[in-house]
Chains A and B, each alone.
Chain A
Amino acid sequence: MISVDQEKAWVQGALAGDRTAFTSLVEAYKNPVYNLCYRMLGTSTEAEDAAQEIFVKIYRRLHTYDPDRKLSSWVLSVASHHCIDRLRRRRLQTVDIEEMPEWQPLVSDRPQPERQLLDSEQEARVQQLLEYLEPGYRVPLIMHYWNDLSYQEICEATGLSLSAVKSRLHRARLKLAELMRAHAPDLIPLMAQAKEKVEA
């Protein structure tokens, strides 16, 4: 856990041109920022480029940082806006829902290498599902699931109201459930079991 004093020391050091202080700041936030970029943009190459640009931007704009604000919220705010801008520039073509590949059901007693392959397939499908969501819905979802941010912290990082954050998370989940129901009902055994139970 990073203390507020620690963060303030990094910011002040970096503002004074201290390389070590800025290195510590990057080291502390590189994974949340990289993960956010990867989940928003979909490829590791683009995620690395974007994450690098974000830290360059953070260093350049460090003098605008309000010390009363949580540093992690500010960093993720810069990161999410940067990713949304990138997506806007890219004018992302939404993948046609019919083009989704057939999903193989998960079977727990498969040999380990095959199991790993399924995990990576599942990971790819998570990413694919995310890409169906509008960027404005994707950001709160990523912050919630991967950055473990509370509703209030998501509000601070995105500038959305509390009700908007709750609503976007809810609608994002509904959309994801709808996609999974239509295209990968056996994605998770739990879902198939639940359906069987209800039908019975």
Chain B
Amino acid sequence: MNNCDEILELISLQLDEALEAADANRLTLHLTHCPDCALAFSELQAVDALFHRAPMKYAPSGFTTRVVDAAFADALRYNLRLGVVGLMVGTLVISVILIMGQASLVWTVLSILFAPGFLSSGSLWMGEFWQALMIGGRVSLSVLDILRGLLLGPLLVPSVLSLLCGAFVTVLIQRKDQQTLTMT
């Protein structure tokens, strides 16, 4: 960095009143014999004065009320969205549990109908159901039977409906958000 570059930096500090006394003296001395830096000093002073004079822009009237309304509405939407997501996750977990239970029940019924001998092993609980699935090829239980049981299962229908309702509400909220953003 040559001497004049260093002096230019000192000028900026001088304009911000952040120059130490020794550097201030060095600057003054340099400006008296360097016309280029003296001109630069005037120009930077002019920039400084122009920007110091530029007025502050004030927020329009009613701004605070609009902002506070928007912030609280956003928080409400955010909490609602969280609630919906929580509901969906909860529903999903319950659905899985129900599906497993339902499949166990269906399998038990099927085993009574098609392999009554298997009932003697007492297969009413889920652990045994899965155990039976592991050896599914050897018992009279097919995947199709399980699927049929699941689709027709009276407990599954409300679970799926809950999921669809959750998804629908989420889409509605997102659309509303987009409209609000467009309006603002």
Contacts and interface: CB of A to CB of B under 8 A. Distances in A.
Contacts, number: 132
A191 B57 contact: no
B45 A190 contact: yes
A48 B184 CA distance: 9
Contacts of B35: 198
Given A34-B58, A141-B51, A174-B8, A55 B67 contact: yes
Contacts of A169: 12, 16
A177 B16 contact: no
B78 A126 contact: no
Say whether chain A's binding surface is mostly helix, strand, loop, or mixed: helix
Interface in A14-61: 19, 22-23, 26-27, 30-31, 33-35, 38-39, 44, 47-49, 51-53, 55-56, 58-60
A69 interface: no
A123 B64 contact: no
Interface of B: 8-9, 12-13, 15-16, 18, 35, 38-40, 42-60, 63-64, 66-68, 70-72, 74-75, 78, 184
Nearest to A51: B59
Nearest to B41: A194
Interface stretch (A88-96, A108-116, A144-152): A144-152
Contacts of B67: 26, 30, 51-52, 55-56
21 contacts: A19-B72, A26-B64, A34-B59, A48-B59, A55-B71, A59-B71, A59-B72, A59-B74, A122-B53, A123-B55, A126-B51, A146-B56, A151-B16, A166-B9, A173-B15, A173-B48, A180-B50, A191-B43, A193-B42, A195-B39, A197-B42
